Chain A
Amino acid sequence: MSLQPGAQTGTQPIPPRRPHLLVPTPEQLAARRLRRRTRLLRPAYWLPFVLLVVVLAIAWGIGARQMPYLFAPLGEIAGVLSEDLAYFLENTLITLGEAMVGLGIGFVAAFALAVVVSEVAVVRRAVMPLAVVLSVTPLVAIAPLLVVALGFGMAPKVVLTALVCFFPILINVATGLRTVPGPVLEVYRTVAASRLEVLRYLRVPASLPYVFASLRIVFPLSMIGAVVAELAAAGSAEGLGSVIQVASSQNRLATVWAAIFVLAALGSLLFWFVTLAERRVLRWHQP
């Protein structure tokens, strides 16, 4: 063996390259595909969860017998749900509408302020400490005051929802807008990119992971805001919060629990929706 450069290319034939991939036969491929697709059907995936649900349902049954003023039997809850499906659907849509309108207003306002905060240091120093304090304050507590001030209509619900969503979005987005790495900024400053261009092409896309992080917090939070505002408005006749209020004052426990289950399902649905959207938009982002 010679160490001279170029020596081995002389007379010796170059050996054929050995493969670096093992391609399965069509039968193997089909078997592997099937295994991947039916992964979620295997008991190892769903059995633990189903077992826990069964255990909890049994515990619920015992609870309903021991504490009839707290729990309603599951069968009764299911009965109420299926009987008054239209009633629940109608009120769900009202609550969902309030939550989404509030969330939308809160999001637009918070995003706009986050842009200002990230661009103007003076505003940042004024706003951010206050934002941190207010984001850990349980703002839902002002629901009764909002009802007094704004009446029994949609207004207090939307305002409360917008308010509870506002600060988590503000803090996350303001942080996210400042995550563009220094060297990237330097590259674009050497071509004299304007502030608006830096914002549009660099800062806003870079903030998207933070935007979605805040949405995952804020979607469920918006439901809480709307329901609490409905609970506080004792006379309002609409929304799942009102359903709970009226039913519990009349001791219709099954209805109360049915409304709570609907809220839980709705919250999960929203969360799932955000996760799905995030997966689509943030393909490039690896956590």
Chain B
Amino acid sequence: MHGVRRLYEQADLVDLIALDDVDLTIEPGTFVSIIGPSGCGKSTLLRLISGQESADAGRITVCGLTPKEAAEAKAFGFVPQSPALLPWLSVLGNVTLPHKVNRRSDRGRPDLEAMLREVGLGESLHKLPAELSGGMKQRTAIVRAFGLRPDVLLLDEPFGALDEFTREALQEQLLELWEQTRATVVFVTHSISEAVRLSDRVVVMAPRPGRITDIIDIDLPRPRHQEIITSPQFHAYELALRDSLRDAFSHGEVVS
């Protein structure tokens, strides 16, 4: 994306600059996290990439296509903050339904049951979402996205509402699924350790106006298991990221 700008008209009729002059290139097959304080336009960025909204200035291309065309071609898998499952469909029904819409562009159905079993939902295939815990629901949502075999996975703070244990277990499963598919991942988060644990590259954003202030490459070996969290390199990256975020924050304060 190049020079992207997005405005929202506010209640007082003044335009809020949600994103200003955002330049970002994401290498195919990499895991990129976007981190920043609330209101810095992280979610807006995702909606622009997936073609839900269009930019007021600048240009976004996804694998050479416009975002709208990429969505038409089912290039995206999206995991929102809430699991967004349909309460009347079983776990299996929920991960199958995206294959039934926009059939022309469908990329074929992988063995969804096996994928669900792999993330520990084997005994819950035919349960309704109301019978699942928060972590199980979010796992279903992740399989729903991965099951589409997308080129680009967009995750908008998918673990934000989960407790620490569940969160770490799901990070592990997310990485396992990703190792198998190697899709491009854009992962919005506000957890520093989550960003370091998962990503090849972390994009730091600042609010007012929403913009990119720093990009940090995370050069840790993969696969990254639980133990990596306690390693000194991991800690060093966390500190670097924390500093970068503090800069982003203080910079924002000065401007506003």
Contacts and interface: CB of A to CB of B under 8 A. Distances in A.
Contact of A181 (B47, B71, B84): B84
A52 interface: no
A205 interface: yes
A123 B219 CA distance: 57
Given A184-B84, A205-B88, A193 B101 contact: yes
Nearest to B131: A284
Interface in A144-190: 181, 183-184, 186-190
Given A191-B98, A192-B105, A201-B97, A183 B71 contact: no
Interface stretch (B5-13, B33-41, B74-82): B74-82
Contacts of A190: 50-52, 71, 76-78, 154
A285 B130 CA distance: 9
A194 interface: yes
B128 interface: yes
B166 interface: no
Interface string B184-213: 000000000000000000000000000000
A208 B87 CA distance: 12
A107 to B, nearest CB: 21
Interface string B58-102: 000000000000011010111011101111100000000110111
Contacts of B87: 284-285
| Dominant secondary structure at the A interface | helix
B101 A284 contact: no
B170 interface: no
A157 to B, nearest CB: 36
B22 to A, nearest CB: 20
Contacts, number: 70
B45 interface: no
Contacts of A206: 86, 88
A21 B76 CA distance: 44
A254 to B, nearest CB: 49
A92 B84 CA distance: 47
Contacts of B82: 181, 183
A187 B88 contact: no
Contacts of B100: 197, 201
A202 interface: yes
A11 interface: no
B143 interface: no
B98 A192 contact: no
A286 interface: yes
A181 B85 CA distance: 10
Interface in B116-170: 128, 130, 141, 144, 148, 154
Contacts of B76: 190-191
A7 B97 CA distance: 46
B102 A193 contact: yes
Interface centre among A189, A197, A285 (most CB of B within 10 A): A189
A205 B87 CA distance: 10
Given A190-B71, A190-B78, A284-B130, A183 B84 contact: yes
Contacts of B51: 190
Contacts of A183: 80-82, 84
A192 B102 contact: yes
A284 B50 CA distance: 31
Contacts of A188: 98, 101
Contact of B80 (A187, A192, A201, A205): A187
A262 B198 CA distance: 69
B73 to A, nearest CB: 8
Nearest to B83: A183
Interface string A256-287: 00000000000000000000000000011110
Interface in B1-44: none
A243 to B, nearest CB: 43
A96 B255 CA distance: 73
B80 A191 contact: no
Contacts of B98: 187-188, 191
Contacts of B154: 190
Contact of B86 (A189, A191, A202): A202
Interface in A192-227: 192-194, 197-198, 201-202, 205-206, 208
B10 to A, nearest CB: 19
A37 to B, nearest CB: 25
B97 to A, nearest CB: 6
A198 B100 CA distance: 11
22 contacts: A183-B80, A183-B81, A183-B84, A184-B86, A186-B47, A186-B80, A187-B80, A190-B51, A190-B76, A190-B77, A190-B154, A191-B148, A192-B71, A192-B102, A192-B105, A194-B102, A197-B101, A198-B101, A205-B86, A208-B88, A285-B87, A286-B130
Shortest Cβ-Cβ A-B pairs, 10 listed:
A193-B101, A183-B84, A183-B80, A190-B78, A284-B88, A197-B101, A184-B84, A190-B76, A192-B71, A190-B50
